[in-house]
Chains A and B, each alone.
Chain A
Amino acid sequence: MAHQWGMVIDLDRCTGCEACVVACHAENNIATVSPEEAARGRTMHWIHVERHWEGEYPNVRARFRPVLCQQCGAAPCEPVCPTYASYHTAEGLNAQVYNRCIGTRYCANACPYTVRVFNWFSPEWDKPLHLQLNPDVSVREGGVMEKCTFCSQRITAAEIHAQAENRELRDGDVTPACVQSCPAGAMVFGDLSDPTSQVSRLARLARGSKLLEELGTLPAITYLERE
């Protein structure tokens, strides 16, 4: 049976430390940009932590929400791509085929979460980051769109490993880089088609909700709101 990969993010636990952002950059060969480019809104983060202020000064609290590709079940980014670079996999992921992308950027406009990032220039890494590229992940060229894959290379690796041991994938076999690096344990990843998996159990909690659920995009990520 096909897996349905999903994630739960507990906003009560998130401290906004952005370790997930750094881990994602390292794992997925995401380019870094200059401060000037970053100020123009051209950072390449596949996951970003939104900071919102709650209350009026001086009684203000910072709230954090890590936002990555929601891997929508009905993704607005997919039908608009003229070359099928953005497409839906059997396991419910919104995949992006870099080599097929011609850079219309229509998908990024259509995405209500603004989590797709575009290679405005060919990628560069600040030294010595260029020496630590992940061999399991292709590097992208200028002019193509890229986005969170739920660390599909780790999913593939776990499947190969399980196959070698002649067994099914177990809950916890796959851990994306952001989940692995979260010091507060705010993120949980797993198979939503397995009702006993940790992610399935957490996703059913009453304080769970989807981001912009009213748009009908059927996100695979459930946020557990603060109590």
Chain B
Amino acid sequence: MAPNSVTQTNVIDQEAERIREDLLRPLFRTSWRFYTVVGVLVAIGLPGLAAFIYQSYSGLGVAGLSNPVFWGFYITNFVFWIGISHAGTLISAILRLVNAGWRRPVTRCAEAITVFALVIGGQFPVIHLGRPWLFFWLIPYPSERHIWPNFRSPLLWDFLAISTYITGSVTFLLLPIIPDWATVRDRSTGLRKRIYTVLALGWQGTPREWHRLETAMSIMTVAIIPVAVSVHSIVSWDFAMALVPGWHSTVFGPYFVVGAIFSGIAALIIAMALLRKFLHLEEYLTPVHFNNLGKLLLLMSLLWFYFVFAERLTVWYGNETAEMPGFWSVQRGQFAGLFWTMVACNFLIPFPILAIKKLRTITGTVIASATVVVGMWLERFLIVVPSLEHKFLPYNWGSYRPTWVEITIMVGTAAGMVLLYVLFAKFVPIISMWELRGGEHATAAEVAARGVVGRSGAVPDATLLGTNG
């Protein structure tokens, strides 16, 4: 027995060491591809910044907005990105809560999407202001003006909800990074060591520290779920609270939350596929993960379809004079093309791909996710614009056409999102090393017991990564 257990320990140690090497490689080695990607993203992002400066200087009129379509692409993008942000924290919190073992390599990629999507999405309410330099008047602080912001305004709820969510998400993301940063600190020298020493906050890995970390994560896991749900409900209430036909609907809260999680999972699948390819994480992000997330995406696609159907049906059946012009403009008017594209992207295309087991591969889920991201953007646009074009009095009806300024800013911020993510993956192991090891122990021992030692080629990936952990 004794020699056997020695072998087991060695196997575990070797395995853990190999994982660390694999996951830390992107931090220590920088190829020309990294600089190319960063350069391209900066080149796409800077025109967006320039367009925003131009807009601030010239006036919001350089955007395509007009009376009565006072909100357009900016608010569409705001809702879209806040939706994408539900990729991470919510999904990862739910998976942690139900202790799904396969989550381990997924959680950090997901939580990072949340934080950066919030950073990007949160810019749009400022970009869209008539006087963006005064955005801080939304912040409740005692000032020389002796006036608080208006707590009855859904925009203020937005501000409070999103700032709470970003605080929570950053905490949720950073807490489990601390042990990994400590690992980086222990393995580096020079300037890098100094930086990671600060970041690791003096982590030593004592049982007390582990206990505190786990307690903190348990609290955050439970706390972040209601915050995430409230954020997108409040975003939906920006619309639902206003007396605008097509907006003033009770279904908007849950409808938006479902749509948010839907687009969030899609973004996560795409991000994971790219990370897998470019950081060579084939062993860690396996078909099992894409299969499981594909099933979740399938569920959300069905839920999304249900909500759209319920919302459209009740409006159509109610047949209210004020509601119908906006309704028909979407169903068979100038927005019909976009509407049916949305239905195809969010349901008709992804549903069969995700429902048929043979098609639920990495490529399959990525294709489905790409259409879902496009479809969910269209959904946000179709909620914001057609209703504003058709308010109560037909004399005031108008139309909306975005300008190059809005499109440049939109593309630029999207590049900014990818850039933040790429930089993050450069400075942080994108897969949580210690959590992976936590899930590894039992299975590595099992593997050793079966006498199979070595790379994953010989072992089903699911087993290696502790699907049942």
Q: Give A contacts to B, CB under 8 Å.
A: 37, 40-43, 48, 50-52, 67, 76, 79-84, 100-106, 108-110, 112-114, 117-122, 141-145, 212, 215, 217
Contacts and interface: CB of A to CB of B under 8 A. Distances in A.
A190 to B, nearest CB: 26
Contacts of B68: 41, 108-109, 114
Contacts of A81: 150, 153
Nearest to B239: A109
B411 interface: no
Given A112-B393, A114-B396, 19 more contacts: A40-B66, A41-B66, A51-B395, A67-B393, A76-B243, A80-B154, A82-B150, A103-B131, A104-B125, A105-B65, A105-B130, A109-B71, A112-B244, A113-B393, A118-B67, A120-B59, A120-B60, A120-B61, A217-B243
A79 B152 CA distance: 6
Nearest to A52: B395
Nearest to A33: B61
Interface string B358-396: 000000000000000000000000000000100111011
Contacts of A51: 395
Contacts of B128: 104
Contacts of A212: 392-393
B149 to A, nearest CB: 5
Contacts of A76: 242-243
A121 B58 contact: yes
B432 to A, nearest CB: 39
Contacts of B130: 101-105, 118-119, 142-145
B60 A142 contact: yes
A120 B128 CA distance: 12
Contact of A102 (B58, B131, B243): B131
Interface string B396-417: 1011000000000000000000
B390 to A, nearest CB: 11
B156 interface: yes
Contacts of B135: 102
Interface string B277-312: 000000000000000000000000000000000000
A42 B400 CA distance: 12
Contacts of A142: 59-61, 130-131
Contacts of A144: 130-131
Given A103-B60, A112-B391, A42 B67 contact: yes
23 contacts: A41-B69, A42-B66, A52-B395, A80-B154, A80-B242, A82-B137, A82-B159, A83-B138, A103-B60, A103-B129, A103-B130, A106-B155, A112-B392, A112-B393, A114-B67, A117-B67, A118-B70, A120-B65, A141-B131, A142-B60, A142-B130, A143-B60, A215-B243
A-B CB proximity, top 8 nearest: A103-B130, A143-B130, A120-B61, A121-B59, A105-B70, A114-B396, A41-B66, A50-B395
A84 B147 contact: yes
Interface string B213-242: 000000000000000000000000010011
B134 interface: yes
A208 B152 CA distance: 33
Contacts of B396: 114
Interface residues of B, number: 42
A50 B152 CA distance: 33
Nearest to A42: B66
A80 B395 contact: no
B388 to A, nearest CB: 6
Contacts of B238: 106
Nearest to A108: B70
Contacts of A143: 59-60, 129-131
B61 A42 contact: yes
Given A112-B243, A143-B131, A106 B60 contact: no
A73 B120 CA distance: 39
Contacts of A84: 147, 149-150
A112 B388 CA distance: 10
Contacts of B159: 82
A114 B70 CA distance: 10
A37 B150 CA distance: 33
Contacts of A103: 60, 129-131
B153 to A, nearest CB: 4
Contacts of B67: 41-43, 108, 114, 117-118
Contact of B242 (A82, A100, A102, A110): A110
Contacts of A100: 137, 147
A40 to B, nearest CB: 5
A18 B171 CA distance: 60
A106 B153 contact: yes
A41 to B, nearest CB: 4
Contact of B155 (A104, A108, A119): A104
A141 B155 CA distance: 22
A110 B60 contact: no
Contacts of B393: 50, 67, 112-114, 212
A174 B21 CA distance: 82
B129 A102 contact: yes
Contacts of A108: 67-68, 70
